[in-house]
Chains A and B, each alone.
Chain A
Amino acid sequence: MSDDLNAQQLRAIQDRTRRRFRFSLAALTLYFSFTLAWTDIGQFLTEPLFGFVNGALLLFVSLILIFVALEFWFLSLSAKDQRRENREGGQAQ
C-alpha cells in the first residue's frame, strides 16, 4: 500500500514538475522577448500601432497581463489537482 502510494505520489510530482517547467519556460521566453525591442529584428516594435502607442509599449502591457493570466491558469490547475487528490484520498480511506 505504502509503495503504491509512493509511486502514485512520484508520478504526480513528475507531472507537476513538468508543468512547473512548461509555465516557467513560457514566462522566461516572453520575458526575454522584451529585449527584441532593442534589436534590428525588433525594429517593427518601435513603430506606432494605434496613434502614439507603439509595439514595444503594447508588448510591455501585454507581458504584464499575460503573466498574471498565466499565474491564474497555473493556480487553477493546482487547485484542480488538489481537489482530485482530496477526492482520491477520501475514497482510499
Chain B
Amino acid sequence: MNKLCVSLTAALLGLLSNAVLAVGAVEGAVERQPLNTSAIVIFLLFVAATLVISYWAARHTRNSSEFYNAGGKISGLKNGTAIAGDFMSAASFLGITALMFGAGFDGLVLSLGAFSAWPLMLFLLARRVRNLGSYTFIDVVSTRLERSRIRYVAIAGTIIVVLLYLIAQMVGAGKLIELLFGLPYEWAVISVAILVVIYVTFGGMLATTWVQIIKALLLIAGVTVLAFLVMQEADFSVDQLLQRAADNHPAGERMLAPGLAFKDPIQVATILTSMLFGVLGLPHILMRLFTVPNAHEAKKSAFYASLFMGYFYLLLIIIGFGTAMLLYNNPQFFDLDGNLIGGGNMAAIHLSNAVGGSLLTGFMSAVSFATILAVVAGLTVSGAAAISHDLYAEVLCKGDPDPDTELRLTRITVLVIGVISVGLGILFQNENVAFIATMPMVVAASVNFPILFMSLFWAGLTTRGAIAGATVGLLTSVVLIVIGPQVWVSVLGFEQALFPYNYPALFTMPLAFFVTWLVSNNDRSARATIDRDNYHALLVQSEYGEAGMQQG
C-alpha cells in the first residue's frame, strides 16, 4: 500500500501539461543518483555532435531571417521531426511513464492531450499561419489589426508563456539532471543554459532545428528499444503485459481502467482542453511553421510531427504498463521504506535498467538530458524573436530596422534569456513551481489561441476586441490558477480551494472568445472599420500566399 501511495503522489504531481510534467517529473522524493558513466559518455557524444552542428549552422546564419527561421529552407519531414523533438520532452517520457506506474490507465490522458493538438494544427492553422507570418505568430495576428497595440499584447503573451515555460523547464532540468547524473543542481542549470546559449547564439534556428531532430531520433530509438525489450519480457503478448502489470500493481486490475487518479470527467476535460488549445497557442511551436519554404511543407510538418508523436505515445502504453509489470515485484528498485529509488519519476529509467542493463539506462538518461536542451533552445529562439523582431524591428523601428543591429540585438537577447533562465532556475529551485508550470498552457490557450484563431477565421474581429479578449483571458487564467488547488491549498496553505480545478482553460478560453466577440461587435471606432475591411485581403493571402494576393 505504501508503494501505491508513493506512486500516486508521484503520479498526481504529473497531472500536468508538457511543461508541468517537467516539474512533476522531478518533484517529490528527489534523490541524487550515483554518477552514471555510460550516461555521461553518451551525453558528451551528443553535446560534441550538436556543437559541431552549431559551428556549421553559424556559417549559414548571417542575417535575422536565417536566425529566426533558418532561411525558411527546412523540409517538411525535417521540420516535423524537429517539432516532435521540441515537443516530446523528458517530461513526457518520464512524467507520463511515472503517472502510469502509479495510476495506470489514467496516465494516458496526458498522452492523448499532448498528441491531439497536431491534427488541429494541420486542419486549422498550418497553412494560414505559414502564409501570413514571417517569423512569429505575432506577425500573423498583426496582419489585419492595428500593428503596435496588438503586437504589445501578443508580445506580452509570448514573453509570459516563454518565461513561465522556461522556469518550469530549468527547475525541472536542474532536478532531473541532479537525479540522473548526480550533478549538483546549480551546475546542471548552468550547463543547460551555457549549451543552449551556444547553440542559439551562433546557430540560431538552424542549429536549434538540428538539435531537436537529433534528440527526436534518439528518443524514438530509445523508446523503441525499451518497448521491444519490455514486450520480449511479456513474450510479445499485450494480454500478458497487461495481466502481469495488474497482478503486480497494488491496485490490481483497477489500474487497467480509468478512475485511479482522476475521478471526475470535468477534471479530465479541463486537462484535455488546456493541453490541446495550449499547444495551439505555444509561440515556440508555432514559430516552427515558418522554417519551411511554403504552406504545403508546413502542413506536411504537422503531419510528420503527428506520426512521430503518435508512435511515441503508443509505445508509452507498453513502457507505462511495463513499469508496473517489471518494477513492483523487484525489491532492487525500492528503498527500505518501500519508495521507488530516486522518486516515483525514475520509473522509466529503472525500467531501462531492468530490461537493458546499465547501457540502456545510460542511453535513456542521456536522451532525457538532450530533450531538455532541445526544448529550452526552442523557447530561447522564440523569446529572442519576440524581443528583437516583434518589439524592436516591427514596433520600435516600424518594420524597417537596421539588419546588423537587429541580428546583434537578437544574439544579446539570447544571452540575456540564458542569464535570466539560470537566475530563475536557481531562484525557484526550492519553491513549489507546479502552478508556474500550469500557467503557460492555460495562458497560451486563453490568450494566444483566441487571438490567433479569430484573426484567421472571423471577419468581425477588431483590435479593441482582440485586446479585451486577451486581457480577460490572461487575468482570469491567473486568478483561477491562484484560487485553484495548486496555489490556494498547496502554496498558500488554505484548507479548500475556491476553484476546484488546476487547469481553468475549459472556462477561461471560452470567456476570452466571448469577450473578444462582444467587444468587437460593439466596436464602432474608425480603426474597427479598417480591421474588418482588412479581412478579405488576409483571407486570400492566408490561403494563397503572396502569389495569390498579386493575382487577385
- Does chain A have a CB within 8 A of B454? no
The one of B111, B123, B276, B313 that contacts A20, using a Cβ cutoff of 8 Å: B123
With a cutoff of 8 Å between Cβ atoms, the chain A residues found around residue B105 in the complex are 56-57
The CA of A67 and the CA of B314, in the complex, are separated in Å by 13
Contact A38 B258 (CB under 8 A): yes
Interface string of B252-277 (1 = CB under 8 A from A): 01001111001111011100100010
Interface of B is mostly: helix
**Known A-B contacts A17-B457, A51-B243, A75-B299; A38 and B263 likewise in contact (beta carbons under 8 Å):** yes
Q: Which of B8-16, B184-192, B537-545 contacts its partner?
A: B537-545
With a cutoff of 8 Å between Cβ atoms, the chain A residues found around residue B392 in the complex are none
With a cutoff of 8 Å between Cβ atoms, the chain A residues found around residue B302 in the complex are 71
- Does chain A have a CB within 8 A of B479? no
The one of B108, B239, B303 that contacts A53, using a Cβ cutoff of 8 Å: B239
The CA of A46 and the CA of B544, in the complex, are separated in Å by 47
Q: Give the size range of A's interface with the partner.
A: 35 or more
Interface string of A30-47 (1 = CB under 8 A from B): 011011111100000110
User: Closest Cβ of chain A: how far from B400's Cβ, in Å?
Assistant: 30
- Does chain A have a CB within 8 A of B116? yes
Contact A32 B119 (CB under 8 A): no
**Known A-B contacts A12-B543, A24-B123, A38-B259; A2 and B552 likewise in contact (beta carbons under 8 Å):** yes
- Does chain A have a CB within 8 A of B306? yes
- Does chain A have a CB within 8 A of B296? yes
With a cutoff of 8 Å between Cβ atoms, the chain A residues found around residue B242 in the complex are 51-53
With a cutoff of 8 Å between Cβ atoms, the chain A residues found around residue B108 in the complex are 57, 60
Q: Give the size range of B's interface with the partner.
A: 35 or more
The one of B127, B246, B552 that contacts A6, using a Cβ cutoff of 8 Å: B552
Question: Could you tell me which residues of chain B, from 201 to 247, have a CB within 8 Å of some CB in chain A?
Answer: 238-239, 242-243, 246
The one of A35, A54, A65, A82 that contacts B256, using a Cβ cutoff of 8 Å: A54
Contact A9 B540 (CB under 8 A): yes
Contact B115 A64 (CB under 8 A): yes
The one of B112, B243, B300 that contacts A75, using a Cβ cutoff of 8 Å: B300
The CA of A53 and the CA of B122, in the complex, are separated in Å by 31
The CA of A68 and the CA of B258, in the complex, are separated in Å by 24
User: Closest Cβ of chain B: how far from A52's Cβ, in Å?
Assistant: 4
B residues at A contact (CB < 8 Å)? 105, 108-109, 111-112, 115-116, 118-120, 122-124, 127, 238-239, 242-243, 246, 253, 256-259, 262-265, 267-269, 272, 276, 296, 299-300, 302-303, 306-307, 310, 313-314, 317, 457, 539-540, 543-544, 548, 551-552
A residues at B contact (CB < 8 Å)? 2, 5-6, 9-10, 12-13, 16-17, 20, 23-24, 27-28, 31-32, 34-39, 45-46, 50-54, 56-57, 60-61, 63-65, 67-68, 70-72, 74-75, 78, 82
Question: What are 26 A-B pairs with beta-carbon distances under 8 A?
Answer: A5-B551, A5-B552, A24-B120, A31-B112, A31-B276, A34-B272, A35-B265, A35-B272, A51-B238, A51-B243, A53-B242, A56-B257, A56-B258, A57-B317, A60-B317, A63-B112, A64-B112, A65-B310, A68-B306, A70-B119, A71-B119, A71-B123, A71-B303, A71-B306, A74-B122, A78-B299
